[in-house]
Chains A and B, each alone.
Chain A
Amino acid sequence: MAVTDTAAPDRETDSDTAARWVSLAGVVFRTVLSVAVTILGLLALTFFIGRLLPLDPVLAILGDDASQEAYDRMYVSLGLDQPLWRQFLTYIVNSLTFDFGTSLTSGRPVTEDILRVFPATLELATVAMILGTGLGIPLGVTAAANRDTWIDQTVRVVSLIGYSAPIFWLGLLGLTVFYAGLGWVGAPGRIDIVYQYDLQPVTGLYLVDSLLAGRWDIFQDVFSRIVLPASILAYGAMAYIARMTRSFMLEQFGQEYITAARAKGATRRQVIWSHAFPNIAVQLVTVVALSYAFLLEGAVLTETVFAWPGFGRYLTTALLRADMNAVLGCTLIVGLIFIALNLASDIFYRVFDPRTR
C-alpha cells in the first residue's frame, strides 16, 4: 500500500447530475469530447514530465564511456535536437497509433514489452480483486449490520491494519513465514522454471493458460505462487471495499423503506440482503472498478519483492534507467485504462442506478 497501493479511496466517480437531462446524443458527444480532451491532456502532461526528468536517454543507450561525438550523433538521431513543439507533435502522432518506439533498455518495441508484462499484472490484480471483493463486501455488510458493536470495531481495526502496513515489509514477512517457514505457498516468481518452456502462452495469464492446456500440475504451481502476493494486495483493496460497503449500507439502513420492511416483519437477513444490499450494488461496482484500475497500474513494491515480472516493475525500471520511450508508453496505457474504467463505471452508473433512472 505504499506508493501505488494507497490512493484507491481517492478515486471517486461523480455523476454529473445535470448531464442526465441532456439528450442521449448530447451525453455521448460530451463524453467523447471530454475523454478526448483528457487523453490529449494526459499526453501533454506525460511529455512534459518526460522533459522534466533529469535523466539522459542518450547515455542510457550509449553507455557511460561513450565519446562526445558519439553522444552528439545519438542526440540528433533520437530527434532531441528538434524544437520542442515538433518533438511533441511527433510524440502525439506516434502515440495515437500506439507506436511508442523501441524501448531503450529491452531493445524491443515498447508495445510488445507492454503486451508481455501486462498480463502478469492483470492476473495478479484480478486474483487480488476477487479476494478483496469476496472478503470486503461481507465484512462491510457485517460491520454495518452490527454498527458500533465489537464486531464493527474489529472489522474496522483489522481492515485498517491491512491499509496501514508497508506493503514490502508485509510481503517479505509473508514470504518468510508462509514460503520459507511453513512451505504453504510457492516461491517468488510467476512460474517454476521447469514449466517456463512448457506452457504455451495463449492469454499470457498463466492460470488460464495452464487450464487451457489441461495442465492441472502447472495450474497448481502457478496458483501456489500467486496466492501470497495477491492476498497482500487484496488486503489493501479489502479494507477500502469493506469501509465503503459499510458506509453505503448504513446509508440504506437510515432510509424509510428499510423501516417499512422491518415493520412488515422481514427477517434481519432479508432486510440486509434482499432489501438493502441490491440498492448499493451499483455504487459498489464503481468502488470495485476503481480499486481494480488502481491495481492494474501495477504494484511495483509487491512485484519487486515477489520477483513478479509485471507492469509496475517494468515502468519503474524504465524510469530509473532513463528509458523514456517505455515510460511515456506505459504512462499513457495506465492513463487510458483509468479513463476507460472510469468511463465504464460512469456509464454503468447512469444505466443501472435506480436513483438516476
Chain B
Amino acid sequence: MTDLPGSPPQSTLRGWLEAPGATSPGQARAQAAWRSWQRLVANKAALAGLIVLLALIFLAVFGPALTPYDPMAQNLSERLLPPSGAHPFGTDDLGRDIMTRILYGARITLMMAALVAVIAGPIGLIVGATAGYLGGWTDIVAMRVVDIFLSFPSLILALAFVAALGPGIENAVIAIALSAWPPIARLARAEALTVRKSDYIAAARIQGASRFRLILRHVMPVCLPSVVIRITLNMAGIILTAAGLGFLGLGAQPPSPEWGAMLASGRQFMLTSWWLAAIPGAAIMVVSLAFNLLGDGLRDVLDPRDD
C-alpha cells in the first residue's frame, strides 16, 4: 500500500488513509480498504485466524528448513515413540518424525486450499454472475444444473470423481472442487440479481458495453467479496473432506504427509499411541478454525447486512 499512483503525497501514509475527504478515486478506494482492514483487525478472533494462516504460509515455505529429519525416512526401531526432545510430536508407525511430516504437510494443505479456490471460485462466479445477470433461460438452466449438483450426495460425487480419476490428493481436490462450485454459483447469482437493475449497470450498458464486458467488469466485482468469504469458510470443509476421503482410503496416497491421511492412518493407534492421530487432528482443527474465524470476520466486515 505504499505505492499508490496518482495520489498527492501526504505527511504520513496513515494520515493519507484517514484523511476526511478523499481527493482521488484511488484514495477513496484505499481508504475504504483501510477501514475494512481496521475493522478486521479490531475483530480479535479474525485477526487470530489471519495470523495462524500467515504462520501456515510461513511454515509451508520455510518448514522443511526447520527440521533435521526427512519426512519419508523410516526407522522401524524408532516407531511409535511418544513426544520427546528429539521428536517433539513423537514418531509414527514407521518411525518417521511426526513434526517433520506436519511441517511438510502444511505445504500440501495450502496447495489444496489454493487449488480449490482456483477451480471452484471462478466456475461458481462465472456461472452465477452470468445466470443472475442474463436471467431468462440461461438462468433457469444454470440454476437447475446447480440444483442437481446440490441434491447429489457430496460424498458420492467426490468418491465417484476420485474413483474415476484415480486416487491421489490432486484428484481428490479436483473432485471436491467440482462438488463445491454450485453453492458459490448460487451465491454469486443472488448478488448479481441485486445489481442487474441498478443505475450504473444501465449507464454502462448505454455506453455500449458488451454483455461479456458488463458481466466481467461490473457484475463480477460486486459478487466477488461474498464469494471470497464463502470460499474462505469452505476451506475448512475442503480440508476436512479430504481428511474424510483419507478415512475411506481415497485421499492422499502414501507416503504423502498430508494431514488427513496422517490422521486416517493414525486412528488405528488412537488407544495405544494417541499422538499419531491427535497431532494431525489438532493441526487440521487449528487451520480449519483459522479459516473459519477469518471467513467469519470477513463476513462481519464486508457483509453490509450487519450494519
Enumerate chain A interface residues (CB-CB to B < 8 A): 1-7, 9-12, 14, 17, 34, 37-38, 41-42, 45-46, 49, 52-55, 148, 153, 156-157, 160-161, 163-169, 172-173, 176, 243, 247, 250-251, 254, 297, 300-301, 304, 312, 315-316, 319-320, 327, 330-331, 334-336, 338-339, 342
The contact string, 1 if C-beta is below 8 Å from chain A, for chain B 19-60, is 000000000000000000000000111000000000000000
Which residues from chain B contact A38 at a C-beta distance below 8 Å?
144, 147-148, 151
B307 interface residue per 8 A CB criterion: yes
Tell yes or no: B81 within 8 A of A by CB: no
Closest Cβ of chain A to B116, distance in Å, is: 13
Q: Residues of A contacting B293 with CB < 8 Å?
A: 156-157, 160
Interface on B for A, CB 8 Å cutoff?
43-45, 140, 144-145, 147-161, 163-164, 180, 182-183, 186-187, 189-190, 193, 230, 233-234, 236-237, 240-241, 243-245, 247-248, 260, 263, 267, 270-271, 277-278, 281, 284-286, 288-289, 292-293, 296, 299, 303, 305-307
**Of B43, B186, B271, B285, the contact of A166 (CB 8 Å cutoff):** B285
Q: Can you offer 5 A-B residue contacts whose CB atoms are under 8 A?
A: A6-B237, A38-B144, A163-B292, A164-B236, A254-B306
Q: Are B147 and A7 in contact (CB under 8 A)?
A: no
Closest 5 CB pairs between A and B?
Answer: A2-B244, A10-B183, A3-B244, A164-B288, A6-B237
- B154 contacts A4, C-beta separation under 8 Å: yes
Chain B residue nearest to A152 in the complex (CB): B45
Given contact pairs A49-B157, A251-B306, A338-B150, enumerate 15 new A-B contacts (beta carbons under 8 Å).
Answer: A2-B260, A4-B153, A7-B154, A34-B147, A45-B149, A52-B163, A53-B160, A163-B288, A163-B292, A164-B240, A166-B244, A167-B240, A172-B277, A297-B154, A338-B151
Contacts of B182 in A (CB 8 A): 10
Of B155, B285, B289, B305, the contact of A250 (CB 8 Å cutoff): B305
Contact of A247 with B156 at beta-carbon distance under 8 Å, contacts A11-B150, A37-B144 already known: no
- Cα A316 to Cα B249 in complex, Å, equals 12
Contact A316 B248 (CB under 8 A): yes
B289 touches A164 (CB 8 A): yes
Cα distance A331–B179 when bound, in Å? 15
Contact of A2 with B240 at beta-carbon distance under 8 Å, contacts A153-B44, A160-B293, A169-B263 already known: yes
Q: Which residue of B lies closest to A334 (CB)?
A: B153
Contact assessment for B156 and A45 in the assembled complex, using a CB-CB cutoff below 8 Å? no
Task: Give the residues in chain B near A335, CB-CB below 8 Å.
Answer: 148, 151-153
List B contacts of A330 (CB < 8 A): 153
Q: Which residues of B contact A148 (CB under 8 A)?
A: 43
- In the assembly, what is the distance between CA of A161 and CA of B160, in Å? 29
B147, closest chain A residue (CB): A38
Task: Find the residue from B147, B180, B186, B241 having the highest chain A CB count within 10 A.
Answer: B147
Contact B152 A45 (CB under 8 A): yes
**Which chain A positions have C-beta within 8 A of B149?**
45
**Closest residue of B by beta carbon distance from A163:** B292
Taking CB atoms, residues of chain B closer than 8 Å to A153 are 44-45
Q: What residues of chain A lie closer than 8 Å to B277, measured between beta carbons?
A: 169, 172
| Of listed B149, B160, B163, B241, residue having the most chain A CB within 10 A | B160
Docked CA distance A216–B177 (Å): 47
Bound form: Cα–Cα A331–B160 in Å? 12
Which B residues are CB-close (under 8 A) to A304?
Answer: 247
> Cβ of A7: which chain B residues have Cβ within 8 Å of it?
154, 180, 183, 237
